[in-house]
């Protein structure tokens, strides 16, 4: 008699980046124990009938802002990870623009305490890389970060953007550690100058936000970051790719062998400049939602692999912070962690890409790129049982009033979808079951930095780093 497992899921269609196939899946001690025919499954304490449903690796959303500590009116780690659970997301990487900013060992340790007490899903924590944290890189790595975030341009939280000189030094310091540096790639000096002129000209309507940040703001930043990454051997990730024009420097850098990856978000695939009239300041986000001709090239880049993955930049704010009449005073961003999977699968249902593509963008690529694969991001024997069970045949309409996030205001409101996550499982435990939050899962999420294994770093030009020249060992 085979040993008893904790859970067997029968009747669903398992999706991997290469195939979809009907199989049962057995889970024991948080891991995937077996995949195969129903009658080959061991006895189980619990079974779930997933007939008619699809079984996907849980999404890994590498870009969320859960605002904890500092902004409980927007979100906290409990509401944010509950939203993730409802969105089929089993792991999130949380950004460091909280209060305080995560830029030293103390603030990081405090955030780890908060997150581990409240999280419904697994998580990684980012630390800021900037002038005031370069010296803290070793302590931040010791304290457990998934990677670093560098703000090339100003956005919510007003974290100062480092000069190109400081950025080069920061890349030199992180390159030998192997950690990836995620970039808010918008060049501050261009957009600040344009915003000042627009304000002086009395422009306060929503679309003025787009006028301040045309695609060149992002293109120049991606190009410059790629140059510094190539020089130093640092690994970089371009967050929230919003324009067709950024694809050229991204593709060229990849072709040169730069360790560069990129993400886009549903807002750049599904929204366009007409949404400023429809939603006003609610649609204000950095980088901005752009002109419609940007969309198809971004879809094409996802399909051909130039863009590696989907993230959300889940950026919740309170309604009064999103509805001010002067666009320059509206907080930037809106929630998305809960709606990414259903909205993207709705596009898959329309035939815009395959469900295998989707699994590659949502789970496989993020796990590989952050050194978590095959523990995360795949449904394979021995992997963590992080699972989204979705109905690809469910018509519903997004209603901001019903979302888990504390921020109940978004441009997704009223959007029709044809897919819905029904159950979400993290390391074998239901965190959302039949669209009901499993309260006893609060505080069971764990930081994944401990299981991260980045490939061997390959720093370059090490004889001319700031460290080398000031210690007289370099040229
Ligand atoms: C983000 C936020 O609110 O923290 N806002 C946004 O407009 N995207 C910050 C960011 O990712 O730029
Ligand atoms: Zn950003």
- The string of DSSP letters for 256-300 reads TT--EEEEE-HHHHH--TTHHHHHGGGG--SSPP--GGGHHHHHH
Cβ of residue 97 lying under 6 Å from some atom of ligand 1: yes
| pLDDT at 474 (0 to 100) | 67
d(CA 40, CA 27): 14
| CA 286 to ligand 2 centroid distance, Å | 6
- Asked if the structure places residue 178 within a domain, the reply is yes
Q: Give the closest residue (by CA) to ligand 1 atom 6.
A: 333
Q: Which atom of ligand 1 is nearest to the CA of 284?
A: 7
- Asked if the structure places residue 434 within a domain, the reply is no
How does the average pLDDT of the chain come out, rounded? Answer: 98
User: Is residue 473 over pLDDT 80?
Assistant: no
| pLDDT at 472 (0 to 100) | 73
d(CA 457, CA 137): 15
Band the pLDDT of 408: cuts 50, 70, 90.
Answer: very high
Question: 30-84 pLDDT, tens per residue?
Answer: 999 999 999 999 999 999 999 999 999 999 999 999 999 999 999 999 999 999 9
My answer on whether 262 and 116 are in the same domain is yes
Cβ of residue 286 lying under 6 Å from some atom of ligand 1: yes
My answer on whether 44 and 65 are in the same domain is no
My answer on whether 163 and 283 are in the same domain is yes
- Asked if the structure places residue 293 within a domain, the reply is yes
Q: Which residues of 72-95 are buried (b: 16+ CB within 10 A; e: fewer)?
A: eebbbbbbbbbbbbbbbbbbbbbb
Question: 50-59 pLDDT, tens per residue?
Answer: 999 999 999 9
- Asked if the structure places residue 429 within a domain, the reply is no
My answer on whether 74 and 26 are in the same domain is no
d(CA 51, CA 11): 4
Cβ distance 99 to 70 under 8 Å? yes
Residues 6+ apart with CB under 8 A from 61: 84, 89, 91, 92, 93, 311, 312, 314, 337, 340, 366
Q: What is residue 87's three-state secondary structure?
A: coil
Question: 377-403 pLDDT, tens per residue?
Answer: 999 999 999 999 999 999 999 999 999
My answer on whether 302 and 230 are in the same domain is yes
pTM over 0.85: yes
Average pLDDT over residues 400-414: 97
- Asked if the structure places residue 421 within a domain, the reply is no
My answer on whether 15 and 79 are in the same domain is no
Question: 159-187 pLDDT, tens per residue?
Answer: 999 999 999 999 999 999 999 999 999 99
Q: Which atom of ligand 1 is nearest to the CA of 317?
A: 3
Q: Kindly list the strands in the beta sheet with 235-238, ordered across the sheet, starting from the edge strand earlier in the chain.
A: 59-64, 89-94, 122-128, 147-151, 180-184, 235-238, 260-264, 309-310
Q: Give the closest residue (by CA) to ligand 1 atom 9.
A: 156
Residues 6+ apart with CB under 8 A from 445: 81, 115, 116, 118, 119, 120, 121, 122, 123, 426
Q: Which atom of ligand 1 is nearest to the CA of 332?
A: 7
Average pLDDT over residues 193-214: 98
Specify the CATH number for the domain of residue 308.
3.20.20.140
Cβ of residue 313 lying under 6 Å from some atom of ligand 1: yes
Cβ distance 386 to 425 under 8 Å? yes
Percent above pLDDT 70 for the chain: 99
Question: Both ends of the chain: CA-CA distance in Å?
Answer: 69
Cβ distance 311 to 240 under 8 Å? yes
Question: 291-314 pLDDT, tens per residue?
Answer: 999 999 999 999 999 999 999 999
- Asked if the structure places residue 458 within a domain, the reply is no
Cβ of residue 98 lying under 6 Å from some atom of ligand 1: no
- Asked if the structure places residue 204 within a domain, the reply is yes
My answer on whether 266 and 343 are in the same domain is yes
The range of the structural domain enclosing residue 44 comes to 5-49
| CA 122 to ligand 2 centroid distance, Å | 21
- Asked if the structure places residue 366 within a domain, the reply is yes
| CA 411 to ligand 2 centroid distance, Å | 18
My answer on whether 24 and 165 are in the same domain is no
Number of domains present in the structure of the chain:
2
| pLDDT at 475 (0 to 100) | 65
d(CA 344, CA 333): 19
Cβ of residue 186 lying under 6 Å from some atom of ligand 1: no
My answer on whether 134 and 27 are in the same domain is no
| pLDDT at 372 (0 to 100) | 99
Question: 330-389 pLDDT, tens per residue?
Answer: 999 999 999 999 999 999 999 999 999 999 999 999 999 999 999 999 999 999 999 999
| pLDDT at 303 (0 to 100) | 98
Residue 21: HSE in the Cβ half-sphere, 13 Å Cα cutoff: 12
| pLDDT at 1 (0 to 100) | 60
The Cβ of residue 17 has, within 10 Å, a number of other Cβ atoms equal to: 18
| CA 106 to ligand 2 centroid distance, Å | 24
* Cα dihedral 278/281/282/288 (nearest 10): 90
| pLDDT at 26 (0 to 100) | 98
My answer on whether 280 and 310 are in the same domain is yes
d(CA 234, CA 147): 12
Cβ of residue 282 lying under 6 Å from some atom of ligand 1: no
User: Is residue 254 over pLDDT 90?
Assistant: yes
d(CA 394, CA 324): 35
Cβ of residue 315 lying under 6 Å from some atom of ligand 1: yes
User: Treating both helix axes as pointing N-terminal to C-terminal, what angle do 188-200 and 215-232 enclose, rounded to 10 degrees?
Assistant: 160
My answer on whether 12 and 129 are in the same domain is no
Cβ of residue 32 lying under 6 Å from some atom of ligand 1: no
Specify the CATH number for the domain of residue 10.
2.30.40.10
User: Is residue 158 over pLDDT 90?
Assistant: no
My answer on whether 84 and 217 are in the same domain is yes
Report the residue among 62, 156, 268 best suited for mutation to probe ligand 1: largest number of ligand atoms under 8 A from its CB: 156
Cβ of residue 332 lying under 6 Å from some atom of ligand 1: yes
């Amino acid at each position: 008699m085979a040993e008893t497992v904790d859970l067997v899921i029968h009747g669903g269609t398992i999706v991997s980046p290469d195939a979809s196939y009907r199989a049962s899946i057995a889970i024991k001690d948080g891991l995937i124990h077996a995949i195969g025919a129903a009658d080959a499954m061991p006895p189980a304490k619990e079974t779930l009938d997933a007939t008619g449903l699809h079984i996907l690796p849980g999404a890994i959303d590498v870009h969320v802002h859960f605002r904890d500590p500092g902004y409980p009116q927007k979100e906290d780690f409990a509401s944010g990870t509950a939203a993730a659970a409802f969105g089929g997301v089993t792991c999130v990487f949380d950004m460091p623009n909280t209060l305080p900013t995560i830029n030293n060992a103390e603030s990081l340790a405090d955030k780890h305490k908060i997150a581990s007490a409240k999280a419904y899903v697994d998580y990684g924590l980012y630390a800021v890389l900037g002038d005031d944290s370069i010296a803290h890189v070793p302590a931040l790595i010791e304290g457990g970060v998934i990677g670093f975030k560098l703000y090339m341009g100003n956005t919510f939280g007003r974290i100062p953007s480092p000069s190109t000189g400081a950025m080069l030094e920061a890349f030199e310091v992180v390159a030998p550690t192997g950690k990836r540096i995620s970039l808010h790639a918008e060049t501050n000096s261009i957009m600040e100058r344009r915003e000042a002129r627009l304000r002086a000209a009395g422009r306060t309507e929503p679309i003025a936000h787009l006028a301040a940040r045309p695609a060149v703001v992002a293109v120049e930043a991606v190009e410059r970051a790629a140059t510094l990454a190539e020089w130093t051997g640092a690994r970089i990730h371009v967050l929230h790719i919003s324009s067709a024009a950024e694809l050229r420097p991204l593709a060229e850098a990849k072709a040169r062998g730069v360790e560069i990856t990129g993400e886009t978000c549903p807002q750049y695939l599904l929204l366009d400049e007409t949404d400023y009239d429809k939603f006003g300041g609610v649609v204000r986000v950095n980088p901005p939602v752009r002109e419609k001709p940007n969309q198809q090239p971004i879809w094409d880049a996802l399909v051909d692999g130039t863009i590696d993955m989907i993230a959300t930049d889940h950026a919740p704010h309170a309604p009064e912070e999103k509805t001010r009449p002067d666009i320059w005073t509206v907080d930037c961003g809106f929630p998305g962690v809960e709606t990414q999977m259903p909205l993207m699968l709705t596009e898959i249902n329309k035939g815009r890409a395959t469900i295998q593509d989707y699994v590659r963008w949502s789970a496989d690529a993020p796990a590989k790129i952050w050194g978590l694969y095959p523990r995360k991001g795949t449904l394979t024997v021995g992997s963590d049982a992080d699972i989204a069970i979705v109905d690809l045949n469910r018509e519903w309409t997004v209603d901001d009033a019903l979302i888990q996030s504390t921020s109940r205001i978004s441009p997704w409101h009223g959007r029709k979808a044809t897919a819905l996550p029904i159950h979400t499982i993290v390391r074998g435990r239901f965190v959302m079951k039949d669209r009901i939050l499993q309260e006893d899962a609060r505080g069971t999420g764990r930081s994944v930095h401990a299981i991260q294994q980045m490939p061997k770093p390959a720093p370059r030009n090490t004889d001319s780093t700031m460290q080398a020249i000031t210690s007289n060992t370099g040229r």
